[in-house]
Structure 1
Amino acid sequence: MRYLSLLFASVLPLVASCKTAEALPSSPPASGPGVAVVELFSSEGCSSCPPADEVLSDLVRKGDGRVFPLAFHVDYWDDLGWADPFASAQATARQREYAASFGTSSVFTPQMIVDGTEAFVGSDASHARDAITRALARAPSTRLTVTAERADAQSLRVHYRFDPAPKDGVLRLALVERGLVTRVPRGENAGRTLAHENVVRSFVTVPIHAAEGTAVLPVPSSVDRRRAEVIGYVQSAPRTEGRGVPITAAARTPAP
């Protein structure tokens, strides 16, 4: 596992031990009325991250419609020999926001967060399975539906509807792409071929003012729309200080 301490806004990576990923169970998690949004913070520059990437990829392969996996590639390892082609400062900023919501000043990779409130080492498949089961057992406070249409070559127009409209919070919209493969020539993963699923290629936050609306989601030119989809999810205001930001609904739609 790799750690990043946020001290005086500087980046100070520290090294710690990592876990070996185990396969998720072949059967889907226990049934329930809820959804499970699984956010992984990872990097191709981190040697501890490939096992966590495999845990997330296993969720995608299982295809449980109630589970929404997203891989955010952070950029704070990009100066250590290999710049991750999918990394972004936006992903790093999102992880830092989560750190603040958990009452800590540091972030690490690989980190997995389920439903915005349960954070742990991303390669811990058993913890992922249990956290997903707990998330699915919680009834969502609203129902979300999303549809998308092509606005132009660089963007999608995403239509969303809530039933009922959330009383607080925001809508997160992510464009994710499957089947990404990189041959890494340098850095901690030098010589390895890394495979990724549901990498976040674009991400916007939309304030919620009504029961329905429309938002624009950018589409990078390198994205293959045939392997992409839009995932939307609602995050409410934190209910308990230091316990993250709860996710109360989620939905997906293909990227046209």
Structure 2
Amino acid sequence: MQRVPYRKQATYFLSTLVSALVLLGIATLTARAEEKSPKAVLELFTSQGCSSCPSADKLIAQYARRDDVLAMTLPVKLWDYLGWSDTLATEINTKRQMAYSVARGDRDVYTPQLVINGETAMLGSDKDAIDQEVATSDLPLPIDLSLNNGVLEIDLGDAEIDAESATIWLMVLDDRVHVPVSAGENRGRKLDYYNVVRDMRPVGIWKGQPIKLELPLSDVEKHATSGCVVIAQVDTFKGPGRIVGAAQLHQIFPARTIGSADGSFPYKPGIR
């Protein structure tokens, strides 16, 4: 496990981002999220420059295949200065991990670090601790996703939670990315990542009542994405708080090359 001292208070700021869902020239495309709602959201903060991370990366792949858990990989820049710059890491993911540490009050940032439902942090390779937390988890707010004729439809129901509102976040994912590492602690290794968060942005506010959002997929593609996740997350005065709802929509795209350091990996969508 690698840790980094917290040097300054991170601001929970995310700049406006382009929508990274991809239409790919298809005139009519219809898809729907899986019927079973997850009871837990797992966010793994990982780094290609961390020798302790591959075991956690493999573990998150197991959770990504489960229907009752929504598991995501968020590569961060913590160890880029050690000789290898993470090819998947983003400032957004890095700031999100920092913001979580401030919101919890422990300011503890390390890799591999797993955050469950926006609140509980633990070692990302500790399966027993993860399973114990997941077993008692619950996401009370129902969210339904569907894609119809180039429009992403997001339906949020109602739920009783200890907050007046929650921010609705759209995250775009690559189902699987293969990365050969040629320097740093993982030099010579070939690493696989699942449900990699490539972009995220707020798209609305849930205020305790059912709401429907419609997002056009007309923006220019900026990332090679294969699906999306929508979460509803309570904001606190310290930063991001509890995740109260989540849903994932898988999209089937043609094989494509993404994510690797040398651009050589042909992506084949879908792992379930």
Question: Is this a same-fold pair by TM over 0.5?
Answer: yes
Q: Is the partner of 1:176 in helix, strand or coil?
A: strand
Aligned partner letter, 1:143: P
What is the Cα deviation at residue 169 of structure 1? Answer: 1.2
What is the Cα deviation at residue 220 of structure 1? Answer: 5.5
What is the Cα deviation at residue 222 of structure 1? Answer: 5.1
What does the per-residue CA deviation read over 1:9-32, in whole Å, with 9 as the maximum and x for residues that have no partner? 69xxxxxxxxxxxxxxxxxxxxx9
Other-structure match for 1:131: 133
Q: Is contact 2:37–2:142 with CA below 8 Å preserved after alignment?
A: no
Other-structure match for 1:25: none
What is the Cα deviation at residue 221 of structure 1? Answer: 4.5
Aligned partner letter, 1:37: V
Q: Is the partner of 2:82 in helix, strand or coil?
A: coil
Other-structure match for 1:183: 180
Q: Is contact 2:38–2:67 with CA below 8 Å preserved after alignment?
A: no
Other-structure match for 2:43: 39
Do residues 196 (structure 1) and 190 (structure 2) align? no
Other-structure match for 1:90: 92
Aligned partner letter, 2:89: A
RMSD (CA atoms): 2.8
Aligned partner letter, 2:187: A
Q: Is contact 2:114–2:124 with CA below 8 Å preserved after alignment?
A: yes
User: Percent identity at matched positions?
Assistant: 27
**Structure 1 residues 201 and 243, CA, compared in 2 at 3 Å: closer, same or farther?**
closer
**Structure 1 residues 91 and 216, CA, compared in 2 at 3 Å: closer, same or farther?**
farther
Other-structure match for 1:18: none
Do residues 58 (structure 1) and 62 (structure 2) align? yes
**Structure 1 residues 236 and 94, CA, compared in 2 at 3 Å: closer, same or farther?**
same
What does the per-residue CA deviation read over 1:32-63, in whole Å, with 9 as the maximum and x for residues that have no partner? 98611000000101111111101101112xx3
Q: Is contact 1:47–1:189 with CA below 8 Å preserved after alignment?
A: yes
The TM-score normalised by the length of structure 2 is: 0.72
Other-structure match for 1:163: 157
**Aligned equivalents of 2:107, 2:87: Cα separation in 1:** 26
Correspondence list, 1:1-256, <5 A: 1-8=1-8, 35-60=39-64, 63-135=65-137, 138=138, 140-148=139-147, 158-164=152-158, 167-208=164-205, 211-215=211-215, 221=222, 223=224, 225=225, 228-238=226-236, 245-255=241-251
Q: Is the partner of 1:45 in helix, strand or coil?
A: coil
Higher relative contact order (CA 8 A, sep 6+): 2
Other-structure match for 2:19: none
What does the per-residue CA deviation read over 1:156-215, in whole Å, with 9 as the maximum and x for residues that have no partner? x53211112784011122111122111100011001111111111111123315711134
**Aligned equivalents of 1:216, 1:174: Cα separation in 2:** 15
What is the Cα deviation at residue 118 of structure 1? Answer: 1.3
Aligned partner letter, 1:141: P
Other-structure match for 2:260: none
What does the per-residue CA deviation read over 1:98-117, in whole Å, with 9 as the maximum and x for residues that have no partner? 01110023311110011112
Q: Is contact 2:38–2:246 with CA below 8 Å preserved after alignment?
A: no
Q: Is contact 1:171–1:235 with CA below 8 Å preserved after alignment?
A: yes
**Structure 1 residues 150 and 86, CA, compared in 2 at 3 Å: closer, same or farther?**
farther
- Structure 1 residue ranges without an equivalent (≥5): 11-31, 152-156
**Structure 1 residues 100 and 115, CA, compared in 2 at 3 Å: closer, same or farther?**
same
The TM-score normalised by the length of structure 1 is: 0.76
